[in-house]
């Protein structure tokens, strides 16, 4: 079930965005960027993270919620809580997602495959299913979903992740067609982003190869035309742009933010 804030927030007069995966590296950057853009934020993660409240400012608030985005009743309760606490919703930022361990198809456990699809694809559906009515109520809004540059093509041993992120791209296009003109729906496709998850992956592969982490980083970042993994803020900036009036004629689009590692 969703965890309501300790004290009920006043009805917001500012635009309100709901951010999933808010406690992660990209999620925190997204919360910060929306606050800086003048939004109040409903910050959703699988565990309630009180430290997210500190990302607010004197005039803009961040309210944390604990919700498993794959849990239908919990997401339904979240929609009720957000309406009660803020009185409105202007944008959804669907950031929550998980990766998978590398596994050939004959060895990947079906439960693991389903879990990746549940979080990365079913979760966004449930959020839209329960929160689109609140977006519609006051005349519309925006939805921005985080996919991946690995949605552009399949990669051996990562079938669940690639399938889930590719499915999310088409789901965004379907929603964009369905919800227009009231609600614009777009996606962002990150490349290598310099988060703790990315650093852990570099360390793990370096250990497996018997080389230093710096050598592993040089190999991976050497594949990127802009020569480095992106900061989480670059994904946040893209989501804020797509939610803004500057993107008022953009819907059904997927914006590549990947340093040039994939041209599409």
Give the per-residue pLDDT at 2. 52
Look at residue 6 and tell me whether its pLDDT is greater than 50.
no
Q: Is residue 262 part of a domain?
A: no
User: Is residue 157 flagged as an active site residue?
Assistant: no
Give the per-residue pLDDT at 99. 87
The size of the chain, in residues, is 264
Q: Is residue 218 part of a domain?
A: no
The tokens of 185 are what? 């729906």
Q: Domain of 170?
A: 16-193+230-257
Q: Is residue 198 part of a domain?
A: no
Instruction: Give residues with Cβ within 8 angstroms of 222, minimum separation 6.
Output: none
Look at residue 228 and tell me whether its pLDDT is greater than 90.
yes
Read off the pLDDT of residues 93-116 as tens digits, 9 standing for 90 and up.
999 999 887 888 999 999 999 999
Q: Is residue 81 part of a domain?
A: yes
Read off the pLDDT of residues 16-73 as tens digits, 9 standing for 90 and up.
999 999 999 999 999 999 999 999 999 999 999 999 999 999 899 999 999 999 999 9
Q: Is residue 176 part of a domain?
A: yes
Tokens 């997927």 identify what position?
254
CATH code of residue 187: 3.40.50.720
Quote the number of domains for the chain: 1
Q: Is residue 203 part of a domain?
A: no
Look at residue 7 and tell me whether its pLDDT is greater than 50.
no
Read off the pLDDT of residues 157-214 as tens digits, 9 standing for 90 and up.
889 999 999 999 999 999 999 999 999 999 999 999 998 878 887 887 788 789 999 9
Q: Is residue 202 part of a domain?
A: no
Q: Is residue 225 part of a domain?
A: no
Read off the pLDDT of residues 110-165 as tens digits, 9 standing for 90 and up.
999 999 999 999 999 999 999 999 999 989 999 999 999 999 999 888 899 999 99
Give the per-residue pLDDT at 264. 76
Q: Could you tell me if 1 and 74 are in contact, meaning their C-beta atoms sit under 8 angstroms apart?
A: yes
The catalytic residue among 39, 161, 171, 249 is 161
User: Which phi and psi angles does 71 have, rounded to 5°?
Assistant: -100, 105
Give the per-residue pLDDT at 209. 85
């Amino acid at each position: 079930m969703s965890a309501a804030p300790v004290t009920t927030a006043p009805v917001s007069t500012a635009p309100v965005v709901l951010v999933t995966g808010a406690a992660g590296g990209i999620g925190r950057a997204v919360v910060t960027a929306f606050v800086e853009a003048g939004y109040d934020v409903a910050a959703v993660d699988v565990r309630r993270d009180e430290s997210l409240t500190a990302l607010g400012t004197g005039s803009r608030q961040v309210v944390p919620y604990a919700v498993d985005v794959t849990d239908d009743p919990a997401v339904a309760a979240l929609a009720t809580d957000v309406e009660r606490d803020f009185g409105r919703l202007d944008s959804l930022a669907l950031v929550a997602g998980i990766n998978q361990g590398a596994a050939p198809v004959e060895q990947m456990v079906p439960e693991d495959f389903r879990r990746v699809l549940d979080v990365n694809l079913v979760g966004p559906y449930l959020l839209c299913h329960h929160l689109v009515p609140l977006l519609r109520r006051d005349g519309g809004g925006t939805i921005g979903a985080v996919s991946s540059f690995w949605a552009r093509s399949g990669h051996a041993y990562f079938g669940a992740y690639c399938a889930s992120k590719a499915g999310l791209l088409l789901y965004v296009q379907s929603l964009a067609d369905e919800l227009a003109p009231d609600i614009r729906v777009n996606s962002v496709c990150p490349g290598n982003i310099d988060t703790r998850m990315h650093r852990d992956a570099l360390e793990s592969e370096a250990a497996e190869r018997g080389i230093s982490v710096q050598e592993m980083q040089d190999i991976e970042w050497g594949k990127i035309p802009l020569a480095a993994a992106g900061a989480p803020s670059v994904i946040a900036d893209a989501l804020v742009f797509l939610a803004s009036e500057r993107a008022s004629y953009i819907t059904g689009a997927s914006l590549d933010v990947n340093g040039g590692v994939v041209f599409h």
